[in-house]
Structure 1
Amino acid sequence: MKKTSTDAAAIAKPKSKNLSKRIFDCWQLYLFVLPAIICLLLFSYVPMYGVQLAFRDYNPIMGITGSPWVGFEHFIRFFNSYQFKQLISNTLILSLYSLIVGFPIPIILALALNQVKNSKFKKFVQTVTYAPHFISVVVLVGMLGIFFSVNGGLVNQVVQLFGGEPKLFMGEVKYFRHMYVWSGIWQSMGWSAVIYLAALSGVSPELHEAATVDGATKLKRIWHIDLPTILPTIVTLLILNCGSVMSMGFEKAFLMQNPLNTEHSEIIATYVYKMGLINAEYGFSTAVGLFNSVINCILLISVNKISKKIGQDGLW
């Protein structure tokens, strides 16, 4: 017998009742999640009200809604700015450099630590690699200034030991990107490896035992057992990292920046800070920040779709 529309409506009503009943029965769980939802609304959605600054000539006296509407004038000004190409290229190069070099290193570290049998040595390496994560950005940049100092810096002392001349590493443009990226890798690789080590803990020892009996070397076991196990985790983190390509950290770039290396150190984040807080051009800086966020969103959606097309799990 064919189901009529009345039958479908009759079926739909119990489902809605069952849903409300389940919510009522599990109200403790929803109450537990409520603080997180409130925080998400207050700090992620309510501030979106200020996005309209990007389309207004903001005047603090007139307020957001009272300021005149200028449409895409701020965006056009940014696109026509002589700094536009420099800002985009500096941000992309620095971010892609960090992603290409920094993303595989925690994976390699986790795979190597997973093969270590000596528990004391493994814990020692984990402690040494985790520790830099807890150093603040300000302290890290201060350490770079001390180690690479022209007068008495450790690096320049080694250079002089081999007959070289001391260099102003913090002031030369060609060294900025390398110092920024590799210091970041040193600081974060141990902490980032924790996720992969957690994923590797789910690998059954029986698989390795069977592979060893069949004559598989350590490299083959890593390639055919460990890597496929953590591949979903790798893909998920890669998508998230690609979605923040345009969002380089402001603090570190700003602290390492000086008049001698601005050619490579001026990125979108530092430019927004200078235009917004120092020059008080709130509408223009909001437009630049919104442009940056839109690009990140497009990249995130694109990488997620590519991941699903090649057969991997996406974020949604």
Structure 2
Amino acid sequence: MIILGLLLGQINTDVISGVPRYSFDIPELTDGIGFVVIAMGVFGFGEIIVNLGQPAESREVFTKDVKGLWPTKQDVKDAFPAVLRGTALGSILGVLPGGGALLASFAAYTLEKKSRGRKGEVPFGQGNIRGVAGPESANNAGAQTSFIPMLTLGIPPNAVMALMVGAMTIKGIQPGPQVMTSNPQLFWGLIASMWVGNAMLVILNLPLIGIWIKLLTVPYRFLFPAIVVFCGIGCYTLNNSSFDVYMTAAFTLVGYVFYKLGCEPAPLLLGFILGPMMEENLRRALLLSRGDWTTFATRPLSAGLLVAALLMIVVVMLPSIKAKREEAFVED
């Protein structure tokens, strides 16, 4: 999937020679495929088609009244240690590329299942508060720390950060360590938004939780037409071009095929975002070294990064590590 994303990123105008490539004489493709087009088609419309292909009863989240939404004092007491453990675990795993925040949620759930709770508590899978507090804390912590590789190295660790990189690129901002010095307002505004966002979550979610639950009772047959309309308007207004709408429809079919084949579309997005950046810097380095490929192995920094990447691949492929990863994603 990453390779497919890299190939899609090559459909543009060559940054060195200025010659259009893989555009098939279509003028709209000389500027490349829009990032929003791929994201909206694969993740937006593709998900809608998948949901429409399921039985109607499986699409409805809640059909009955939900009561007792506020946590009790005992729930808070039981959840507090799980929150601390989940936050620590999510902060570490959230930095890892390739879905570290998602892995943190499953790993935190596995950790809570193996941790000793109080006597007589509700079993896991039947409403244990620790099974909610731990993974949610890990997910929130991982979502915050996933900004670290994006802001320091310009590398998005997951699909959400890839969307952030795409938005920054559209605005002419180069992700990386220079963001802190060249755009301090953006950097510190981002830090402040984390504090404000978490505070607003507490203010909005707790008093208005009943309203959010009511939204889940809206039948899907009313929701998906509105989603399609707003997504279509967004795709068209991006460049005021109907070609973007047609491309979104094409990638909708691609996303549906991915779902049927059991392929994860997030790596495609990562490859599409990182591909042009990687190519531009690769060709720049080769120009400076006069075409000498050994410069990547003789320079200490580049050689160290290549060795680190190779070690990470080897470690992840080890049977013991692979078994632990699969165990973390298993839910009883």
- For the aligned pair, the TM-score class normalised by the smaller chain equals under 0.3
TM-score by length of 2: 0.26
Choose between structure 1 and 2 for higher RCO, CA contacts under 8 A separated by at least 6 residues.
2
Give the TM-score taking structure 1 as reference length: 0.27
More helix by share: 1
